Amino acid sequence: METIQETKKKPNLFMYLSLILLVVCAILSWQLIRSHKTITEQTDTIVQANQEKEQMILKLENLKKEYDQLSADNAQLSEMFDAEKAHVESLLTKIKNSEGTVSKYKKQVALMETRLKEYEQQIEELKKQNKDLIEENFHIKTILDSATIENKELNSENKELSETVSKGSALVTYDINIDGIVTRSTGKEIPTKKAKKAQKIRACFTIGENAIASAGNKTVYMRIADPAENILYVNESDEYSFEYQGKKLQYTAKEQITYNNKAVDLCIYWAKTKDFVPGTYVVDLFSDGNLIGTSQLTLEK
What are the residues whose beta carbons fall under 8 Å from the beta carbon of 20, sequence distance 6 or more?
none
Q: Based on the fold, state whether residues 120 and 143 are members of the same structural domain.
A: yes
CA 239, CA 211: separation in Å to the nearest integer? 32
CA 154, CA 146: separation in Å to the nearest integer? 12
Q: Based on the fold, state whether residues 129 and 179 are members of the same structural domain.
A: no
Domain boundary among 150, 169, 188: 169
- Percent of the chain exceeding pLDDT 90 equals 37
CA 194, CA 167: separation in Å to the nearest integer? 38
- pLDDT at residue 155 in the model: 45
User: Is residue 184 a contact partner of residue 190, using CB atoms and an 8 Å limit?
Assistant: yes
User: pLDDT-derived band of residue 76, with 50, 70 and 90 as boundaries?
Assistant: confident
- pLDDT at residue 55 in the model: 76
Q: Based on the fold, state whether residues 162 and 182 are members of the same structural domain.
A: no
* 19 has a pLDDT exceeding 60: yes
User: pLDDT-derived band of residue 92, with 50, 70 and 90 as boundaries?
Assistant: confident
Q: Is residue 51 part of a domain?
A: no
User: Is residue 175 a contact partner of residue 295, using CB atoms and an 8 Å limit?
Assistant: no
- pLDDT at residue 276 in the model: 96
Measured CA to CA in angstroms, residue 273 lies from 119, 157, 167, 245, 281 at distances of 42, 50, 36, 29, 15
Domain boundary among 135, 153, 169: 169
CA 77, CA 83: separation in Å to the nearest integer? 10
| AA letter at 49 | A
**How many Cα neighbours within 13 Å face the side chain of 33?**
6
Q: Is residue 2 part of a domain?
A: no
Q: Based on the fold, state whether residues 186 and 240 are members of the same structural domain.
A: yes
160-166: long-range pairs with CB below 8 Å, 24+: 160/129, 161/129, 161/133, 164/126, 164/129, 165/212
- Residues 216-220 have a mean pLDDT of 94
Q: Based on the fold, state whether residues 191 and 291 are members of the same structural domain.
A: yes
Q: Tell me 196's DSSP state.
A: T
Query: Of the ranges 12-21, 90-99, 277-286, which is most confident?
Result: 277-286
Q: Is residue 34 part of a domain?
A: no
Q: Based on the fold, state whether residues 151 and 204 are members of the same structural domain.
A: no
Looking at per-residue pLDDT, the higher value among 232 and 12 belongs to 232
Taking all residues of the chain, what is their mean pLDDT, rounded to a whole number?
Answer: 78
Q: Is residue 136 part of a domain?
A: yes
Domain count, the chain: 2
Instruction: Provide the residue range defining the domain that includes 260.
Output: 173-299
Q: Is residue 180 part of a domain?
A: yes
Residues 182-193 pLDDT 10s? 999 999 999 999
Task: For 199, list phi and psi in degrees, rounded to 5.
Answer: -100, -25
Residues 161-177 pLDDT 10s? 344 344 456 888 889 99
- pLDDT at residue 214 in the model: 86
Q: Based on the fold, state whether residues 197 and 278 are members of the same structural domain.
A: yes
- pLDDT at residue 281 in the model: 97
Q: Based on the fold, state whether residues 139 and 187 are members of the same structural domain.
A: no
CATH code for the domain of 271? 2.60.40.10
Q: Based on the fold, state whether residues 184 and 251 are members of the same structural domain.
A: yes
Measured CA to CA in angstroms, residue 177 lies from 10, 72, 122, 258, 266 at distances of 81, 34, 26, 21, 11
Q: Based on the fold, state whether residues 283 and 210 are members of the same structural domain.
A: yes
Domain boundary among 169, 193, 223: 169
Q: Based on the fold, state whether residues 182 and 275 are members of the same structural domain.
A: yes
Q: Based on the fold, state whether residues 148 and 177 are members of the same structural domain.
A: no
Task: For 145, list phi and psi in degrees, rounded to 5.
Answer: -100, 20
User: pLDDT-derived band of residue 1, with 50, 70 and 90 as boundaries?
Assistant: very low
Q: Is residue 244 part of a domain?
A: yes
Q: Is residue 185 part of a domain?
A: yes
Strand order in the sheet with 189-192: 189-192, 173-183, 200-207, 264-271
Q: Is residue 54 part of a domain?
A: no
Query: Of the ranges 30-34, 42-46, 240-244, which is most confident?
Result: 240-244
